[in-house]
C-alpha cells in the first residue's frame, strides 16, 4: 500500500480532530510531524517531498451508499461490522451527514444526502477468509442479523449482509 501527500494530510487532520475530541489539542503542524514519523520519515518536510512524487495513477473507486439514518448506519457499520470513521462532514447541525469509513483496505462512503447513491446498492467486498470474518462479526451481536457463509457462491465462500437501508454487502473470500 502506498500513501500520497493527500493521505498524509488527511491522517494529520483526523489525528488532530480525534485528539481535540478527547480535550487533548495539538497544532496541525505537530499532527503533520507525527504522521510523517509514523510513515517512516524523519520530518514533515521530508515526507512532503517524497510523497508528492508518488503518482498512483487511477485510484480505487469508493462506493457511496445511501443511508437514511446516521444512528442506524453507525450501529451497523461501526459497531457491528467493525469499520472505523476516517472522516465525516455535516455542513451544519440538522443537515445530512456524509461519512467515509474503512475496515482494513475496504473504504465506503455513507451519505444521507438525497441523490448520493440509491438504497439497495450491492457492493462486492473481497476478504481473505470468510470463516475468520464471520467469527469476528459474530462476536458483536446485531438485533436482526445472523449471517452465514454460502460455500457454493460463484465467486467463492460468501457472506451476504443487508444493512437497514437495503444496501447489500457481499463479503467474498478470494483466492489468489
Q: Which residues are registered as beta bridge partners of 107?
A: 102
The reply to whether 161 falls in a domain is yes
The reply to whether 31 falls in a domain is yes
Q: What pLDDT shows up at residue 1? A: 47
Is residue 116 domain-shared with residue 137, that is, in the same domain? yes
Strands 158-162 and 168-173: antiparallel
DSSP assignments along 18-64, one per residue? HHHHTT----HHHHHHHHHHHTT-SSHHHHHHHHTT----S-----E
Is residue 110 domain-shared with residue 136, that is, in the same domain? yes
Q: What pLDDT shows up at residue 23? A: 80
Task: Classify 67 as helix, strand or coil.
Answer: coil
The residue ranges of the chain whose pLDDT is under 50 are 1
Q: What pLDDT shows up at residue 81? A: 95
Is residue 112 domain-shared with residue 154, that is, in the same domain? yes
**pTM for this model (two decimals):** 0.68
Cα–Cα distance measured from residue 50 to residue 116, given in angstroms and rounded to the nearest whole number? 35
Residue 145's CATH number: 3.10.180.10
Is residue 31 domain-shared with residue 72, that is, in the same domain? no
The reply to whether 57 falls in a domain is no
The reply to whether 56 falls in a domain is no
The reply to whether 136 falls in a domain is yes
Is residue 40 domain-shared with residue 72, that is, in the same domain? no
Cα–Cα distance measured from residue 43 to residue 21, given in angstroms and rounded to the nearest whole number? 25
Domain count, the chain: 2
Q: What pLDDT shows up at residue 137? A: 93
The reply to whether 118 falls in a domain is yes
Domain of residue 74, residue span: 64-173
Amino acid at each position: 500500500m502506498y500513501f500520497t501527500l493527500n493521505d498524509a494530510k488527511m491522517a494529520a487532520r483526523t489525528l488532530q480532530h480525534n485528539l481535540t475530541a478527547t480535550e487533548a489539542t495539538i497544532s496541525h503542524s505537530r499532527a503533520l510531524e507525527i504522521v510523517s514519523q509514523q510513515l517512516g520519515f524523519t520530518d514533515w518536510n521530508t515526507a512532503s517531498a517524497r510523497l508528492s512524487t508518488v503518482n498512483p495513477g487511477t485510484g480505487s473507486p469508493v462506493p457511496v451508499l445511501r443511508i437514511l439514518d446516521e444512528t442506524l448506519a453507525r450501529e451497523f457499520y461501526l459497531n457491528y461490522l467493525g469499520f472505523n470513521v476516517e472522516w465525516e462532514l455535516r455542513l451544519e447541525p440538522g443537515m445530512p451527514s456524509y461519512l467515509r469509513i474503512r475496515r482494513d483496505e475496504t473504504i465506503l462512503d455513507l451519505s444521507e444526502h438525497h441523490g448520493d447513491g440509491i438504497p439497495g446498492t450491492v457492493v462486492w467486498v473481497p476478504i481473505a477468509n470468510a470463516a475468520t470474518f464471520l467469527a469476528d462479526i459474530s462476536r458483536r451481536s446485531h438485533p436482526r442479523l445472523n449471517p452465514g457463509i454460502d460455500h457454493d457462491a460463484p465467486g467463492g465462500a460468501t457472506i451476504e449482509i443487508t444493512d437497514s437501508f437495503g444496501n447489500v454487502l457481499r463479503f467474498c473470500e478470494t483466492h489468489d
